[in-house]
């Protein structure tokens, strides 16, 4: 993981950035994990641990490219 990818990961894991670009209300807080696959970095966030059983579960996956660009944002 290079310095550009690290800066982007710090930005996209901020809750205000997620709320602005995902444009959904997310109950609870997201817990993130980061994986390197080749040159790309995948950031996976989930609110499963911080919500009650009746609240909506949200999963966010963000792929960060080699030069720090966001290649894909997926919300489930």
* Burial class, 75, CB count within 10 angstroms (exposed 0-12 / middle 13-18 / buried 19+): middle
pTM score of the predicted model: 0.86
Q: Which structural domain, as residue segments, surrounds residue 10?
A: 3-75
Tell me the pLDDT tens digit for each residue of 15-54: 888 888 876 778 888 999 999 999 999 999 999 999 999 9
What is the pLDDT, as a whole number, of residue 19? 83
> How many structural domains are present in the chain?
1
């Amino acid at each position: 993981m290079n310095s550009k990818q690290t800066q982007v990961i710090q930005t996209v894991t901020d809750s205000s950035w997620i709320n602005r670009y995902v444009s959904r209300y997310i109950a609870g807080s997201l817990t993130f994990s980061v994986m390197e696959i080749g040159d790309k970095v995948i950031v996976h966030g989930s609110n499963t641990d911080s919500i009650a059983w009746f609240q909506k579960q949200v999963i966010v996956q963000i792929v960060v490219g080699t030069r720090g660009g966001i290649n894909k944002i997926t919300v489930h």
